């Protein structure tokens, strides 16, 4: 369980925790592909997105080099991802115009939808006096998104992994969060949807963790007694 007697800081993952992509990735990509003469359906895009992502997951996480990352590396990976998606429909390389249009689309707040009851939880945490923040493995667009979604006033800190030099699940990135919050690892709680990167990563770094298990699934990465919630509506009581 969460040890609130020691807790001083609460950090959140961003994508699929604070918010998720509105409708689908295919819905977001489709008008940009169409404007650049790539004629495919939303459904066709959504079908290849998991394949395009799977092809570069190891590179994205940089597992071979302790998950070290930079802003430049983030952009390189993002370009490769867009190219991977396009390659299923065209032999042509991604043009700079297409890349930029998709890149900036995903920095717009209207591309996301907030998770149910998340603002109520954030307000509750502020009332309780906790230090609050965001850490995402995604890139620097998180800063624009948090501001545009009206969440910035809820947080003391907003970081993408490249701001701190490591991606989750590296211990170093969680330790740097604790340093920024001026607390020990055990005084920091991390909330996220990914059992491996978010929850096990936090545990391995000596932090506390709360699994946002919206689909009520089982994970072999986690002990069955790992604290979890399916909806943030039920999380407030954990911080009473």
The pLDDT confidence band at residue 218, using thresholds 50, 70 and 90, is: confident
Residue 118, pLDDT > 80, answer yes
CA distance 199 to 86: 33
For residue 215, the model assigns a pLDDT of 86
Total-model pTM: 0.94
CA distance 103 to 95: 12
For residue 99, the model assigns a pLDDT of 95
Kindly state whether residues 138 and 226 are assigned to the same domain.
yes
For residue 10, the model assigns a pLDDT of 99
56-85 average pLDDT score: 93
Residue 1, pLDDT > 90, answer no
Kindly state whether residues 120 and 147 are assigned to the same domain.
yes
Residue 220, pLDDT > 70, answer no
Give the chain's mean pLDDT: 94
Residue 177, pLDDT > 70, answer yes
Residue 240, pLDDT > 90, answer no
Residue 114, pLDDT > 90, answer yes
In a domain, 89, yes or no: yes
- 169 preceded by a cis bond (ω within 30 of 0): yes
For residue 221, the model assigns a pLDDT of 66
Kindly state whether residues 98 and 119 are assigned to the same domain.
no
Side-chain-side CA neighbours of residue 231 (13 Å): 4
Residue 225, pLDDT > 90, answer no
Kindly state whether residues 213 and 183 are assigned to the same domain.
yes
In a domain, 56, yes or no: yes
The label of the residue with tokens 């907003």 reads 158
Kindly state whether residues 130 and 186 are assigned to the same domain.
yes
Give the domain-ending residue among 94, 110, 126: 110
Domain with 72, as residue range(s), is 23-110
Kindly state whether residues 83 and 149 are assigned to the same domain.
no
Mind listing the pLDDT tens digit for each residue in 49-66? 999 999 998 888 898 899
Give the domain-ending residue among 110, 129, 156: 110
For residue 216, the model assigns a pLDDT of 81
Total structural domains within the chain:
2
Contact status, residue 175 vs residue 185, Cβ threshold 8 Å: yes
Contact status, residue 42 vs residue 30, Cβ threshold 8 Å: yes
CATH of the domain at 180: 3.40.50.1000
Give the domain-ending residue among 59, 81, 110: 110
Run of H or E residues at 61: helix 57-61
In a domain, 145, yes or no: yes
Overall residue count recorded for the chain in this entry: 240
For residue 5, the model assigns a pLDDT of 93
């Amino acid at each position: 369980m969460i040890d609130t007697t020691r807790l001083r800081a609460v950090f959140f993952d961003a994508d699929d925790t604070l918010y998720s992509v509105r409708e689908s990735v295919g819905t977001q990509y489709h008008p940009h592909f169409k404007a650049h003469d790539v004629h495919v359906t939303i459904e066709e895009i959504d079908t290849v997105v998991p394949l395009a992502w799977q092809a570069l997951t190891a590179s994205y996480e940089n597992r071979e080099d302790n998950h070290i990352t930079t802003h430049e590396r983030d952009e390189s990976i993002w370009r490769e991802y867009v190219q991977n998606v396009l390659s299923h429909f065209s032999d042509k390389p991604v043009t700079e115009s297409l890349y930029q249009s998709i890149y900036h689309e995903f920095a717009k707040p209207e591309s996301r939808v907030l998770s149910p009851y998340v603002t109520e939880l954030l307000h509750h945490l502020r009332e309780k006096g906790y230090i609050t923040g965001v850490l995402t493995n995604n890139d620097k667009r998180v800063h624009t998104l948090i501001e545009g979604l009206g969440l910035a006033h809820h947080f003391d800190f907003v970081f993408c992994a490249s701001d701190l030099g490591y991606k989750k699940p590296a211990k170093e990135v969680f330790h740097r969060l604790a340093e920024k919050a001026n607390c020990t690892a055990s005084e920091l709680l991390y909330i996220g949807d990914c059992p491996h990167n978010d929850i096990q990563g936090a545990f391995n770094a000596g932090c506390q963790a709360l699994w946002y298990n919206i689909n009520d699934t089982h994970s072999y990465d986690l002990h069955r007694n790992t604290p979890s919630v399916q909806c943030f509506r039920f999380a407030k009581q954990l911080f009473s």
